[in-house]
């Protein structure tokens, strides 16, 4: 039996298509006439209602989904004291206050640099009160620990340069507030600077405030930065701020459970590989996370909210972006996740909500986009024409102003062999109840391209003429145009939208958008 449709079956399709074309011509003529007559047509189809785009929205229980509450610990009031607790060649961190260099009392200093200079491998320098070193404190003995009792108990108040510089392996700095570095970005002024000999250093439970760069890792491997808070200078211009954690030529490092705000880029990667970045919260930044030339990295369970861009990944390959949240990143660029020249990487299980663009694929090659929630963004996915080989399966595209924006001249299939994606605007008929629609869906086709090429027609995008075009493209495969098709659209979403509804309601669609994901400041 022939699989070709009968002539009788083709007549309705041709009739519908002809009718749609006639109405469409009238629509375009009306749009042009409206503009020429002084009436401006809407330039986009943004979702949501007018609002501030604030990241402080709360869910139904009254709890903030993204917690970026202020942190303002009391400054220590006691004069600073540093005690050197000797532990011989034992592992740092096991010393007790009763251990002295020769079995006596620990040596006590009011000058932190003198205390650190006196420490030998395995010693612990216990810090309390406020210490104000005249110059950078340099730790150059291996296995030394510099430890305080927390931000309200121990503080190192810097000044015109880097505050602490580590130049030996396996050093630990923990439980201290480090305040006020120099402001010279070219000199790499930082709260803590790790030189190339600082392999295996651990920075934990720190509060770095009013710093140009928070932590600068300069060629050291296997570094851990965890459970710390970094607040930059909050200069009005991003270009005049340093980065929160600056990773340069590091391998095997771990960045976890930190809070970063008021800097340029929260965590910046340059020639960094095999770094695990997990559980961090990043807000009020240019880019929450920024990769350049950094391969084989793992980025998971982070939250980026209220930035220009949540996660900006550029010129890298082999990256896993898993279970992250990007909310209300609506600056000049305004992406939840940006993949610029990224190859052989994965975007899986992320929540991209109320951004200007949920995901931007720019000259990205052979990547997988799977199982993400793309909700209430101005554009769900912006797909550039030079992006190739993207697998898009199992995602929920819900309530985006425009589900897909693409300039491709090809017809791209976004579905797997058995299942596709959920589209909130799709007309899904699931007669057998298997959760998969029987008819294909065109999230980006002739109607969407028409709006791109003739922006004045956007005011009619939800009208009957455009609906007729979409119907023809979905129901009659003989009518093919460039764009995106999902042959197996899903009937229902798999994600819980409820926690994010307040953010969706706060979206302001009237946002200036920069469609060139350039990198002018790295």
Interatomic CA distance for residues 331 and 183, integer angstroms = 25
Range 378-389 average pLDDT = 93
Please tell me what DSSP assigns to residue 236: S
Please tell me what DSSP assigns to residue 160: S
Residues 6 or more apart whose CB falls under 8 angstroms from that of 36 comprise: none
**How many C-beta atoms lie closer than 10 Å to residue 379's C-beta?**
27
Confidence of residue 408 (pLDDT cuts 50, 70, 90): confident
pLDDT of residue 444: 74
**How many C-beta atoms lie closer than 10 Å to residue 224's C-beta?**
17
Query: What CATH homologous superfamily does 81-88+106-405 map to?
Result: Single-stranded right-handed beta-helix, Pectin lyase-like (2.160.20.10)
pLDDT at 348 over 70: yes
Range 346-363 average pLDDT = 97
Range 204-213 average pLDDT = 97
Nearest to 271 by CA among 290, 287, 242, 292: 292
pLDDT of residue 183: 85
pLDDT of residue 201: 98
pLDDT at 471 over 60: no
What is the rounded radius of gyration, in angstroms, for the C-alpha atoms of the chain? 28
Domain boundaries, the chain: 81-88+106-405
Angstrom CA distances, 274 to 218, 342, 349, stand at 16, 16, 20
pLDDT at 481 over 70: yes
Instruction: For the chain, give the percent of residues with pLDDT over 70.
Output: 74
Interatomic CA distance for residues 364 and 391, integer angstroms = 12
Phi, psi of 468 (to 5 degrees): -65, -40
Interatomic CA distance for residues 311 and 435, integer angstroms = 32
Return the minimum-mean-pLDDT range out of 177-186, 278-287, 464-473, 474-483: 464-473
Please tell me what DSSP assigns to residue 79: B
Cα angle value 50/288/253 (rounded, 5°): 160
> Contact at 8 Å (CB) between 59 and 499?
yes
Q: Are strands 190-194 and 213-218 parallel, antiparallel or unpaired?
A: parallel
pLDDT at 237 over 90: no
Phi, psi of 75 (to 5 degrees): -75, 135
Terminal CA-to-CA distance of the chain, rounded, Å?
62
Six token digits for residue 379: 């554009």
pTM of the predicted model as reported, rounded to 2 decimal places: 0.81
- Model confidence pLDDT, tens digit, residues 496-522: 999 998 888 877 544 444 455 555 433
Angstrom CA distances, 207 to 178, 302, 429, 505, stand at 6, 19, 55, 34
Interatomic CA distance for residues 404 and 379, integer angstroms = 6
- Classified as helix, coil or strand, 283 is strand
């Amino acid at each position: 039996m022939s699989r070709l449709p009968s002539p009788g079956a083709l007549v309705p399709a041709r009739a519908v298509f002809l009718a749609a074309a006639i109405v469409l011509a009238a629509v375009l003529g009306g749009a042009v006439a409206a503009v020429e007559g002084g009436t401006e047509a809407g330039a986009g189809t943004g979702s949501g209602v007018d609002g501030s785009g604030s990241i402080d929205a709360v869910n139904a229980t009254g709890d903030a989904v993204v917690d970026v509450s202020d942190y303002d610990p009391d400054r220590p009031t006691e004069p600073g004291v540093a005690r050197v607790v000797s532990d011989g060649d034992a592992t740092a961190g096991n010393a007790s206050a009763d251990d002295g260099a020769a079995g006596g009392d620990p040596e006590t200093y009011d000058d932190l640099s003198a205390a650190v200079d006196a420490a030998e491998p395995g010693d612990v320098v216990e810090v309390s009160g406020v210490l104000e070193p005249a110059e950078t404190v340099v730790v150059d003995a291996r296995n030394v620990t510099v430890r305080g009792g927390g931000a309200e108990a121990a503080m190192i108040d810097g000044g015109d340069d880097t505050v602490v510089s580590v130049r030996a392996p396996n050093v630990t700095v923990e439980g201290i507030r480090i305040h006020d570095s120099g402001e010279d970005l070219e000199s790499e002024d930082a709260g803590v600077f790790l030189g190339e000999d600082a392999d295996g250093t651990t920075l934990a439970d720190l509060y770095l405030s009013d710093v140009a760069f928070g932590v600068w890792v300069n060629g050291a491997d296997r570094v851990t930065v965890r459970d710390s808070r970094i607040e930059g200078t909050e200069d009005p211009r991003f270009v005049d701020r340093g980065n929160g954690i600056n990773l340069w030529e590091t391998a095997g490092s771990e960045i976890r459970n930190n809070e970063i705000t008021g800097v340029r880029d929260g965590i910046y990667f340059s020639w960094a590989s095999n770094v695990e970045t997990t559980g961090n919260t990043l807000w009020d930044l240019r880019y929450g996370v920024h990769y350049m030339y950094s391969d084989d990295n793992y980025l998971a369970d982070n939250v980026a909210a209220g930035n220009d861009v949540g996660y900006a990944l550029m010129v890298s390959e082999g990256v896993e972006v898993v279970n992250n949240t990007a909310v209300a990143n609506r600056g000049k660029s305004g992406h939840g996740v940006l993949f610029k020249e990224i190859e052989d990487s994965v975007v899986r299980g992320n929540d991209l909500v109320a951004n200007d663009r949920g995901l931007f694929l720019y000259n990205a090659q052979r990547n997988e986009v799977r199982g993400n929630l793309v909700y209430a963004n101005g554009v769900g996915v912006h797909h550039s024409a030079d992006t190739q080989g993207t697998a898009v399966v199992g995602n929920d595209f819900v309530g985006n102003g425009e589900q897909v924006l693409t300039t491709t001249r090809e017809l791209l299939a976004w579905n797997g062999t058995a299942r596709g994606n959920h589209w909130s605007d799709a007309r899904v008929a699931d007669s057998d109840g298997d959760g998969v629609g029987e008819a294909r869906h065109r999230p980006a086709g002739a109607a969407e391209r028409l709006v791109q090429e003739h922006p004045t027609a956007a005011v009619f995008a939800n009208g009957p003429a455009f609906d007729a075009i979409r119907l023809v493209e979905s129901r009659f495969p003989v009518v093919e145009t460039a764009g995106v098709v999902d042959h197996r659209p899903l009937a229902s979403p798999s994600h819980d939208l409820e926690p994010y509804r307040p953010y969706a309601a706060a979206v302001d669609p009237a946002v200036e958008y920069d469609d060139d994901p350039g990198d002018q400041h790295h």
